[in-house]
């Protein structure tokens, strides 16, 4: 079956702009979580959605937000981009048992 699909794979933005990233989970997976990966901090949890509801949120500023649609697809948005937001953003879907299936990620560069 198809894996987790993230779009776009690569994008370049400038400081102050906003960005929206998309994630389509594995069919049947209702849990979608988002992570930020940087060389210095590793993988850091952003938020998790289950059945269109945000279940938990990590320790990130309010500029980071997300949502989940009725078909389980999810989007995350980062507003007022800062240089430090440059990272690989990973989406993972799950059956809710803690075992995550990751997409290939969206590589964001902020100039």
Partner 1 sequence: TQLLEQSPQFLSIQEGENLTVYCNSSSVFSSLQWYRQEPGEGPVLLVTVVTGGEVKKLKRLTFQFGDARKDSSLHITAAQPGDTGLYLCAGALRGSGGGADGLTFGKGTHLIIQP
Contacts with partner 1, residue ranges (CB under 8 A): 4, 31, 33, 35, 41-45, 48, 50, 55-58, 90, 92, 94, 96-105
CB nearer to partner 1: give 4 or 14.
Answer: 4
Between 48 and 85, name the residue whose CB sits nearer to partner 1. 48
Q: Within 13 Å and on the Cβ side, how many CA atoms surround 111?
A: 4
- Per-residue burial over 32-43, b = 16 or more CB atoms within 10 Å of its CB, e = otherwise: bbbbbeeeeeee
User: What phi and psi values does residue 11 have, to the nearest 5 degrees?
Assistant: -155, 150
Q: How far is the CB of 22 from partner 1 (least distance, A)?
A: 15
Shortest distance (Å) from residue 78 CB to partner 1: 19
Q: What is the nearest approach in angstroms of partner 1 to the Cβ of residue 8? A: 14
Which pair of structure tokens corresponds to residue 71? Answer: 């078909």
CB 6 within 8 A of CB 105: yes
Q: Output the smallest distance, CB 94 to partner 1, in A.
A: 6
- Residue placing its CB nearer to partner 1 in the complex, 84 or 98: 98
Which tokens belong to 75?
A: 């989007």
């Amino acid at each position: 079956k198809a894996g987790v699909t993230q779009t776009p794979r690569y994008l370049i933005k400038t400081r102050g702009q906003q960005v929206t990233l998309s994630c389509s989970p594995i069919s049947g997976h209702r849990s979608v979580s988002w992570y930020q990966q940087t060389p210095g901090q590793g993988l850091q949890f952003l938020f998790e959605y289950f059945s269109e509801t945000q279940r938990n949120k990590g320790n990130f500023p309010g500029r980071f937000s997300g949502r989940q649609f009725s078909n389980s697809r999810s989007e995350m948005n980062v507003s007022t981009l800062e240089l430090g937001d440059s990272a690989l953003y990973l989406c993972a879907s799950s059956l809710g048992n803690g075992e995550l299936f990751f997409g290939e990620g969206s590589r964001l560069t902020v100039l």
